[in-house]
Amino acid sequence: MNTILVGAQWGDEGKGKIIDVLTEQADIVVRTQGGNNAGHTVYLGPKKYVLHLIPSGILRPGKVCVIGNGVVIDPIGLVAEIDGLEKLGVAVSPDNLRLSETAHVVFPWHRELDAQREVRKGQGKIGTTKRGIGPTYGDKAARVGLRVIDLLNGARFPDRLRERLSENNEVLKALGAAPIDYDSLLRDYTTAANRLRPYVANTVLYLHESTRRGANILFEGAQGTFLDIDHGTYPYVTSSNTTSGGACTGSGVPPNRMDRVVGVMKAYTTRVGEGPLPSENAVISDLLHGLGREFGATTGRARRCGWFDAVVTRHACMVNGLDELAITNIDGLDTVTTIRVCIGYRLDDQILHHVPADIEVFSRCEAVYEEFPGWLTPTHTLSRWEDLPVNCRHYLLSIAQLTGARLTVASVGPAREQTLFV
Protein backbone atom coordinates (compact mmCIF):
# COMPACT_ATOMS: atom_id res chain seq x y z
CA MET A 1 0.00 0.00 0.00
CA ASN A 2 1.53 3.30 -1.10
CA THR A 3 0.09 6.37 0.63
CA ILE A 4 0.58 10.03 -0.22
CA LEU A 5 0.00 12.41 2.68
CA VAL A 6 -0.47 16.11 1.93
CA GLY A 7 -1.42 19.26 3.78
CA ALA A 8 -4.87 20.49 2.74
CA GLN A 9 -4.46 24.11 3.90
CA TRP A 10 -1.43 26.44 4.19
CA GLY A 11 1.07 24.08 5.85
CA ASP A 12 1.58 23.17 9.52
CA GLU A 13 -1.58 21.06 9.53
CA GLY A 14 0.09 18.51 11.82
CA LYS A 15 1.52 16.36 9.02
CA GLY A 16 4.51 15.35 11.16
CA LYS A 17 2.28 13.95 13.88
CA ILE A 18 0.06 12.02 11.45
CA ILE A 19 3.09 10.75 9.50
CA ASP A 20 4.50 9.41 12.77
CA VAL A 21 1.23 7.58 13.44
CA LEU A 22 0.94 6.18 9.88
CA THR A 23 4.61 5.15 9.80
CA GLU A 24 3.72 2.23 12.02
CA GLN A 25 2.21 0.57 8.92
CA ALA A 26 4.91 1.72 6.48
CA ASP A 27 8.33 0.33 5.59
CA ILE A 28 9.67 3.43 3.87
CA VAL A 29 8.89 7.15 4.35
CA VAL A 30 9.81 9.55 1.54
CA ARG A 31 10.05 13.35 1.31
CA THR A 32 9.50 14.43 -2.29
CA GLN A 33 9.46 18.24 -2.39
CA GLY A 34 10.37 21.37 -0.48
CA GLY A 35 13.46 21.72 1.66
CA ASN A 36 14.29 22.82 5.17
CA ASN A 37 11.55 25.44 4.96
CA ALA A 38 9.44 22.60 6.41
CA GLY A 39 9.14 22.05 10.15
CA HIS A 40 7.35 18.84 11.15
CA THR A 41 6.82 18.38 14.87
CA VAL A 42 6.56 14.99 16.55
CA TYR A 43 6.28 14.38 20.29
CA LEU A 44 7.37 11.07 21.77
CA GLY A 45 6.49 11.24 25.43
CA PRO A 46 7.96 14.50 26.74
CA LYS A 47 10.54 14.69 23.94
CA LYS A 48 9.91 17.07 21.07
CA TYR A 49 11.47 16.52 17.63
CA VAL A 50 11.25 19.01 14.76
CA LEU A 51 12.15 17.54 11.39
CA HIS A 52 13.10 19.84 8.51
CA LEU A 53 14.60 17.70 5.71
CA ILE A 54 14.61 14.20 7.16
CA PRO A 55 11.27 12.37 6.95
CA SER A 56 9.43 12.12 10.27
CA GLY A 57 9.55 8.31 9.90
CA ILE A 58 13.14 8.43 11.17
CA LEU A 59 11.79 8.34 14.72
CA ARG A 60 10.53 4.77 14.33
CA PRO A 61 13.26 2.12 14.46
CA GLY A 62 13.41 -0.25 11.51
CA LYS A 63 11.94 2.17 8.96
CA VAL A 64 13.92 3.50 6.01
CA CYS A 65 13.65 7.20 5.15
CA VAL A 66 14.32 8.65 1.73
CA ILE A 67 14.95 12.24 0.69
CA GLY A 68 13.75 12.13 -2.91
CA ASN A 69 14.90 13.83 -6.09
CA GLY A 70 12.27 16.57 -5.83
CA VAL A 71 13.62 17.93 -2.54
CA VAL A 72 16.14 20.79 -2.39
CA ILE A 73 18.93 20.07 0.07
CA ASP A 74 20.99 22.42 2.16
CA PRO A 75 23.89 20.02 2.88
CA ILE A 76 25.10 21.92 5.93
CA GLY A 77 21.56 22.03 7.31
CA LEU A 78 21.16 18.30 6.65
CA VAL A 79 24.39 17.41 8.48
CA ALA A 80 23.26 19.58 11.41
CA GLU A 81 19.88 17.83 11.42
CA ILE A 82 21.49 14.37 11.46
CA ASP A 83 23.79 15.45 14.33
CA GLY A 84 20.86 17.02 16.19
CA LEU A 85 18.84 13.81 15.98
CA GLU A 86 21.78 11.72 17.18
CA LYS A 87 22.13 14.03 20.19
CA LEU A 88 18.48 13.33 20.97
CA GLY A 89 19.23 9.60 20.82
CA VAL A 90 17.82 8.88 17.34
CA ALA A 91 20.11 6.64 15.29
CA VAL A 92 20.65 7.98 11.77
CA SER A 93 22.84 6.00 9.37
CA PRO A 94 22.88 4.92 5.73
CA ASP A 95 20.82 1.94 6.94
CA ASN A 96 17.81 4.17 7.64
CA LEU A 97 18.39 7.29 5.55
CA ARG A 98 18.96 7.58 1.78
CA LEU A 99 19.50 10.77 -0.13
CA SER A 100 18.73 11.15 -3.83
CA GLU A 101 21.74 11.81 -6.03
CA THR A 102 19.65 14.06 -8.28
CA ALA A 103 18.20 16.36 -5.61
CA HIS A 104 19.24 19.98 -6.11
CA VAL A 105 21.57 21.69 -3.65
CA VAL A 106 20.89 24.95 -1.80
CA PHE A 107 23.85 27.36 -1.63
CA PRO A 108 24.36 30.47 0.52
CA TRP A 109 23.69 32.73 -2.47
CA HIS A 110 20.21 31.21 -2.72
CA ARG A 111 19.50 32.16 0.89
CA GLU A 112 20.94 35.63 0.40
CA LEU A 113 18.91 36.19 -2.80
CA ASP A 114 15.79 34.97 -1.02
CA ALA A 115 16.39 37.55 1.74
CA GLN A 116 17.31 40.38 -0.67
CA ARG A 117 14.21 39.86 -2.83
CA GLU A 118 12.03 39.99 0.27
CA VAL A 119 13.61 43.28 1.35
CA ARG A 120 13.08 44.76 -2.12
CA LYS A 121 9.44 43.69 -2.17
CA GLY A 122 8.84 45.69 1.01
CA GLN A 123 5.12 45.61 1.84
CA GLY A 124 4.52 43.07 -0.93
CA LYS A 125 6.92 40.51 0.57
CA ILE A 126 5.98 36.81 0.59
CA GLY A 127 7.19 36.20 4.13
CA THR A 128 9.45 33.30 3.11
CA THR A 129 11.42 31.20 5.56
CA LYS A 130 14.61 32.65 3.99
CA ARG A 131 15.98 29.15 3.46
CA GLY A 132 16.77 29.88 -0.21
CA ILE A 133 14.00 27.62 -1.47
CA GLY A 134 12.66 29.87 -4.27
CA PRO A 135 16.07 30.73 -5.79
CA THR A 136 17.17 27.05 -5.66
CA TYR A 137 14.08 25.81 -7.51
CA GLY A 138 14.54 28.82 -9.82
CA ASP A 139 18.04 27.60 -10.75
CA LYS A 140 16.71 24.06 -11.19
CA ALA A 141 14.09 25.28 -13.68
CA ALA A 142 16.65 27.51 -15.40
CA ARG A 143 18.94 24.46 -15.70
CA VAL A 144 21.85 26.05 -13.90
CA GLY A 145 21.44 24.25 -10.56
CA LEU A 146 23.97 21.91 -8.99
CA ARG A 147 22.79 18.52 -7.78
CA VAL A 148 23.97 16.16 -5.06
CA ILE A 149 25.78 14.15 -7.75
CA ASP A 150 27.80 17.29 -8.64
CA LEU A 151 28.53 18.04 -5.00
CA LEU A 152 30.06 14.56 -4.57
CA ASN A 153 32.24 14.79 -7.66
CA GLY A 154 35.56 16.11 -6.37
CA ALA A 155 36.92 16.57 -9.90
CA ARG A 156 33.96 18.59 -11.17
CA PHE A 157 32.57 20.40 -8.15
CA PRO A 158 35.28 23.07 -7.55
CA ASP A 159 34.97 24.46 -11.09
CA ARG A 160 31.19 24.32 -11.19
CA LEU A 161 31.06 26.05 -7.81
CA ARG A 162 33.45 28.79 -8.97
CA GLU A 163 31.39 29.39 -12.11
CA ARG A 164 28.07 29.56 -10.24
CA LEU A 165 29.51 31.69 -7.45
CA SER A 166 31.05 34.24 -9.80
CA GLU A 167 27.69 34.82 -11.53
CA ASN A 168 25.81 35.02 -8.24
CA ASN A 169 28.36 37.30 -6.59
CA GLU A 170 27.77 39.78 -9.43
CA VAL A 171 24.06 39.70 -8.67
CA LEU A 172 24.63 40.03 -4.92
CA LYS A 173 26.94 43.02 -5.47
CA ALA A 174 24.34 44.68 -7.70
CA LEU A 175 21.80 44.25 -4.91
CA GLY A 176 24.19 45.80 -2.40
CA ALA A 177 24.86 42.52 -0.55
CA ALA A 178 28.29 41.22 0.44
CA PRO A 179 29.88 38.73 -1.97
CA ILE A 180 30.54 35.17 -0.76
CA ASP A 181 34.09 33.85 -0.34
CA TYR A 182 34.93 30.91 -2.61
CA ASP A 183 37.56 29.16 -0.48
CA SER A 184 35.54 28.87 2.69
CA LEU A 185 32.45 27.88 0.70
CA LEU A 186 34.33 25.10 -1.09
CA ARG A 187 35.77 23.90 2.22
CA ASP A 188 32.42 23.84 4.03
CA TYR A 189 30.55 22.16 1.18
CA THR A 190 33.29 19.58 0.66
CA THR A 191 33.20 18.72 4.37
CA ALA A 192 29.42 18.34 4.24
CA ALA A 193 29.64 16.31 1.00
CA ASN A 194 32.03 13.86 2.64
CA ARG A 195 29.68 13.43 5.59
CA LEU A 196 26.70 12.83 3.30
CA ARG A 197 28.42 10.60 0.72
CA PRO A 198 27.50 7.27 2.40
CA TYR A 199 23.82 8.23 2.37
CA VAL A 200 23.62 9.07 -1.34
CA ALA A 201 21.86 6.56 -3.55
CA ASN A 202 19.81 6.11 -6.70
CA THR A 203 16.58 6.46 -4.74
CA VAL A 204 14.39 5.94 -7.82
CA LEU A 205 15.77 2.42 -8.28
CA TYR A 206 15.64 1.80 -4.53
CA LEU A 207 11.95 2.73 -4.34
CA HIS A 208 11.05 0.60 -7.36
CA GLU A 209 12.96 -2.42 -6.07
CA SER A 210 11.25 -1.97 -2.70
CA THR A 211 7.83 -1.74 -4.35
CA ARG A 212 8.52 -4.98 -6.22
CA ARG A 213 9.37 -6.62 -2.89
CA GLY A 214 5.99 -5.47 -1.58
CA ALA A 215 7.16 -2.63 0.67
CA ASN A 216 4.61 -0.09 1.92
CA ILE A 217 5.70 3.43 1.11
CA LEU A 218 4.45 6.60 2.79
CA PHE A 219 5.05 9.87 0.95
CA GLU A 220 5.42 12.73 3.42
CA GLY A 221 4.19 15.97 1.92
CA ALA A 222 5.65 19.25 3.09
CA GLN A 223 3.92 22.67 3.14
CA GLY A 224 0.28 22.62 2.07
CA THR A 225 -2.01 22.78 -0.95
CA PHE A 226 -2.37 26.58 -0.97
CA LEU A 227 1.41 27.00 -0.93
CA ASP A 228 1.67 24.92 -4.15
CA ILE A 229 3.50 26.75 -6.94
CA ASP A 230 0.67 25.91 -9.39
CA HIS A 231 -2.43 25.52 -7.22
CA GLY A 232 -1.68 27.89 -4.37
CA THR A 233 -2.30 31.58 -3.80
CA TYR A 234 0.45 32.66 -6.21
CA PRO A 235 2.75 34.53 -5.67
CA TYR A 236 2.27 33.90 -1.92
CA VAL A 237 3.38 30.29 -2.27
CA THR A 238 6.46 28.14 -1.97
CA SER A 239 8.34 27.00 -5.09
CA SER A 240 7.42 23.32 -5.33
CA ASN A 241 4.36 21.18 -6.05
CA THR A 242 3.02 20.48 -2.58
CA THR A 243 -0.04 18.68 -3.99
CA SER A 244 -0.22 14.91 -4.45
CA GLY A 245 1.25 14.93 -7.98
CA GLY A 246 4.49 16.24 -6.51
CA ALA A 247 4.94 12.92 -4.71
CA CYS A 248 5.26 11.17 -8.10
CA THR A 249 7.59 13.62 -9.83
CA GLY A 250 9.60 14.11 -6.65
CA SER A 251 10.24 10.39 -6.14
CA GLY A 252 10.02 8.70 -9.55
CA VAL A 253 7.16 6.49 -8.33
CA PRO A 254 4.39 6.80 -10.96
CA PRO A 255 0.71 7.66 -10.30
CA ASN A 256 -0.52 4.12 -11.01
CA ARG A 257 1.59 2.82 -8.11
CA MET A 258 -0.18 5.07 -5.61
CA ASP A 259 -3.05 3.57 -3.61
CA ARG A 260 -4.39 6.33 -1.41
CA VAL A 261 -4.13 10.05 -0.74
CA VAL A 262 -4.61 11.31 2.81
CA GLY A 263 -5.18 15.01 3.47
CA VAL A 264 -4.28 16.52 6.83
CA MET A 265 -6.14 19.61 7.98
CA LYS A 266 -6.55 21.47 11.22
CA ALA A 267 -9.99 21.91 12.75
CA TYR A 268 -9.39 25.62 12.09
CA THR A 269 -7.04 27.45 9.69
CA THR A 270 -3.54 28.83 10.11
CA ARG A 271 -1.09 30.50 7.79
CA VAL A 272 2.43 31.74 8.40
CA GLY A 273 3.72 34.35 5.97
CA GLU A 274 1.83 36.83 3.82
CA GLY A 275 -1.08 36.37 1.43
CA PRO A 276 -4.88 36.22 1.63
CA LEU A 277 -6.66 34.36 4.43
CA PRO A 278 -10.38 35.16 4.21
CA SER A 279 -11.38 33.43 7.46
CA GLU A 280 -8.63 35.10 9.55
CA ASN A 281 -9.95 36.02 12.97
CA ALA A 282 -8.36 37.94 15.84
CA VAL A 283 -10.36 36.23 18.60
CA ILE A 284 -9.28 32.72 17.62
CA SER A 285 -5.70 33.95 17.01
CA ASP A 286 -5.54 35.42 20.51
CA LEU A 287 -7.09 32.29 22.00
CA LEU A 288 -4.54 29.94 20.39
CA HIS A 289 -1.52 32.19 20.93
CA GLY A 290 -2.62 32.65 24.54
CA LEU A 291 -2.39 28.86 24.93
CA GLY A 292 1.19 29.04 23.60
CA ARG A 293 0.13 27.39 20.34
CA GLU A 294 0.58 28.26 16.68
CA PHE A 295 4.13 29.52 16.56
CA GLY A 296 6.16 28.42 13.50
CA ALA A 297 8.27 25.25 13.93
CA THR A 298 10.97 26.58 11.56
CA THR A 299 11.02 30.35 12.07
CA GLY A 300 9.18 30.79 15.39
CA ARG A 301 6.85 33.38 13.82
CA ALA A 302 3.32 33.63 15.21
CA ARG A 303 0.97 31.91 12.76
CA ARG A 304 -2.08 33.79 11.57
CA CYS A 305 -5.22 31.93 12.67
CA GLY A 306 -8.81 31.80 11.50
CA TRP A 307 -11.93 29.68 11.25
CA PHE A 308 -12.02 26.50 9.20
CA ASP A 309 -12.39 27.36 5.50
CA ALA A 310 -14.30 24.66 3.67
CA VAL A 311 -13.96 26.42 0.30
CA VAL A 312 -10.20 25.92 0.35
CA THR A 313 -10.32 22.35 1.68
CA ARG A 314 -12.87 21.40 -0.98
CA HIS A 315 -10.48 22.74 -3.61
CA ALA A 316 -7.69 20.79 -1.92
CA CYS A 317 -9.80 17.63 -2.10
CA MET A 318 -10.21 18.19 -5.83
CA VAL A 319 -6.60 18.89 -6.82
CA ASN A 320 -5.08 16.23 -4.56
CA GLY A 321 -7.71 13.55 -5.06
CA LEU A 322 -8.11 13.14 -1.32
CA ASP A 323 -9.51 9.76 -0.27
CA GLU A 324 -9.21 10.22 3.47
CA LEU A 325 -8.92 13.03 5.96
CA ALA A 326 -7.04 13.42 9.21
CA ILE A 327 -8.26 16.38 11.28
CA THR A 328 -5.81 17.68 13.90
CA ASN A 329 -5.83 20.21 16.70
CA ILE A 330 -9.46 19.54 17.52
CA ASP A 331 -8.67 20.33 21.17
CA GLY A 332 -7.82 23.92 20.11
CA LEU A 333 -11.57 24.59 19.80
CA ASP A 334 -12.56 22.99 23.14
CA THR A 335 -13.45 26.34 24.74
CA VAL A 336 -15.22 28.01 21.81
CA THR A 337 -18.97 28.49 22.33
CA THR A 338 -19.93 29.03 18.69
CA ILE A 339 -17.63 27.73 15.98
CA ARG A 340 -17.73 29.26 12.54
CA VAL A 341 -16.95 27.56 9.24
CA CYS A 342 -16.39 29.49 6.04
CA ILE A 343 -18.65 28.03 3.35
CA GLY A 344 -18.36 30.71 0.64
CA TYR A 345 -16.90 34.10 -0.17
CA ARG A 346 -18.74 37.37 -0.62
CA LEU A 347 -17.29 39.35 -3.51
CA ASP A 348 -19.18 42.59 -4.17
CA ASP A 349 -22.74 41.35 -4.74
CA GLN A 350 -21.85 37.75 -5.58
CA ILE A 351 -21.25 34.66 -3.44
CA LEU A 352 -18.36 32.50 -4.67
CA HIS A 353 -17.98 28.80 -3.88
CA HIS A 354 -14.50 28.40 -5.35
CA VAL A 355 -11.08 29.90 -4.74
CA PRO A 356 -10.50 32.73 -7.24
CA ALA A 357 -7.21 32.49 -9.15
CA ASP A 358 -6.52 36.22 -9.14
CA ILE A 359 -4.84 37.12 -5.87
CA GLU A 360 -6.31 40.64 -5.92
CA VAL A 361 -9.80 39.21 -6.27
CA PHE A 362 -9.15 36.63 -3.53
CA SER A 363 -7.88 39.38 -1.23
CA ARG A 364 -11.19 41.21 -1.59
CA CYS A 365 -13.26 38.14 -0.67
CA GLU A 366 -15.07 38.13 2.66
CA ALA A 367 -15.88 34.85 4.33
CA VAL A 368 -19.51 33.73 4.57
CA TYR A 369 -20.01 31.55 7.65
CA GLU A 370 -22.14 28.74 8.92
CA GLU A 371 -22.23 28.34 12.71
CA PHE A 372 -21.83 25.19 14.77
CA PRO A 373 -22.40 24.80 18.51
CA GLY A 374 -19.18 24.20 20.42
CA TRP A 375 -18.67 21.21 22.76
CA LEU A 376 -17.12 23.15 25.67
CA THR A 377 -15.48 19.98 27.03
CA PRO A 378 -11.78 19.06 27.13
CA THR A 379 -11.03 16.44 24.45
CA HIS A 380 -7.28 15.88 24.91
CA THR A 381 -7.76 12.97 27.33
CA LEU A 382 -10.14 11.02 25.10
CA SER A 383 -8.92 8.00 23.22
CA ARG A 384 -11.95 6.72 21.31
CA TRP A 385 -14.00 8.41 18.61
CA GLU A 386 -17.23 7.40 20.37
CA ASP A 387 -16.10 9.30 23.50
CA LEU A 388 -15.90 12.66 21.71
CA PRO A 389 -18.80 14.99 22.61
CA VAL A 390 -21.65 14.73 20.15
CA ASN A 391 -21.23 18.38 19.03
CA CYS A 392 -17.59 17.67 18.34
CA ARG A 393 -18.33 14.60 16.21
CA HIS A 394 -21.04 16.56 14.38
CA TYR A 395 -18.58 19.39 13.66
CA LEU A 396 -15.85 17.05 12.41
CA LEU A 397 -18.16 15.00 10.20
CA SER A 398 -19.64 18.25 8.82
CA ILE A 399 -16.29 19.75 7.85
CA ALA A 400 -15.21 16.42 6.34
CA GLN A 401 -18.42 16.33 4.31
CA LEU A 402 -17.98 19.95 3.19
CA THR A 403 -14.43 19.02 2.14
CA GLY A 404 -15.63 15.94 0.28
CA ALA A 405 -13.53 13.10 1.72
CA ARG A 406 -13.87 10.41 4.39
CA LEU A 407 -12.75 11.26 7.91
CA THR A 408 -10.49 8.49 9.24
CA VAL A 409 -8.28 10.11 11.87
CA ALA A 410 -9.09 12.69 14.55
CA SER A 411 -6.28 14.18 16.62
CA VAL A 412 -6.86 15.75 20.05
CA GLY A 413 -3.27 16.44 21.08
CA PRO A 414 0.31 16.31 19.81
CA ALA A 415 1.09 12.83 21.20
CA ARG A 416 0.70 9.49 19.42
CA GLU A 417 -1.83 8.35 22.01
CA GLN A 418 -4.01 11.39 21.32
CA THR A 419 -5.11 9.91 18.00
CA LEU A 420 -8.65 8.62 17.45
CA PHE A 421 -9.49 6.33 14.55
CA VAL A 422 -12.93 6.93 13.11
CA distances from 147 to 94, 100, 107, 377 (A): 19, 9, 11, 52
Residues that bind ligand IMO (CB under 6 A): 7, 11-12, 37-40, 126-129, 131, 133-134, 222-224, 227, 238-239, 272-273, 297
Could you confirm whether 104 is annotated as catalytic?
A: no
Question: Per CB under 5 A, does 39 bind Mg ion?
Answer: yes
Closer residue to ligand IMO (CB): 220 or 331: 220
- Output the 3-class SS for 238-268: CCCCCCCHHHHHCCCCCHHHCCEEEEEEECC
**Distance separating alpha carbons of residues 249 and 243, to the nearest angstrom:** 11
Binding status of residue 8 toward Mg ion by CB under 5 A: no
Decide if residue 228 touches Mg ion (CB under 5 A): no
Residue 40: active-site member? yes
Which CB atom, from 12 or from 150, has the smaller least distance to ligand IMO? 12
Q: Which does 238 bind (CB under 5 to 8 A by kind): ligand GDP, ligand IMO, Mg ion, none?
A: ligand IMO
Distance in Å, CB of 306 to ligand IMO, minimum: 14
Of the candidate spans 27-35, 156-164, 289-297, 403-411, the one that interacts with Mg ion by CB under 5 A turns out to be: 289-297
Q: What interhelical angle do 182-196 and 75-87 show, nearest 10?
A: 50
Tell me how far apart the alpha carbons of residues 272 and 422 are, in angstroms, rounded to a whole number: 30
Q: Which does residue 128 bind out of ligand IMO, Mg ion, ligand GDP, none, counting CB within 5 to 8 angstroms by kind?
A: ligand IMO
| Nearest distance, CB of residue 12 and ligand GDP, angstroms | 4
Catalytic residue among 12, 20, 228, 309: 12
Distance of closest approach, residue 380 Cβ to ligand GDP, in angstroms: 7
Rounded to 10°, the helix 390-403/310-320 angle is 50
Yes or no: say if 29 and 61 are a contact pair by the CB < 8 Å rule. no
DSSP labels for 23-56?
HTT-SEEEE-S--TT--EEEEETTEEEEESSS-G
User: Residue 14, interface with Mg ion (CB under 5 A)?
Assistant: no
Which are the catalytic amino acids? 12, 40
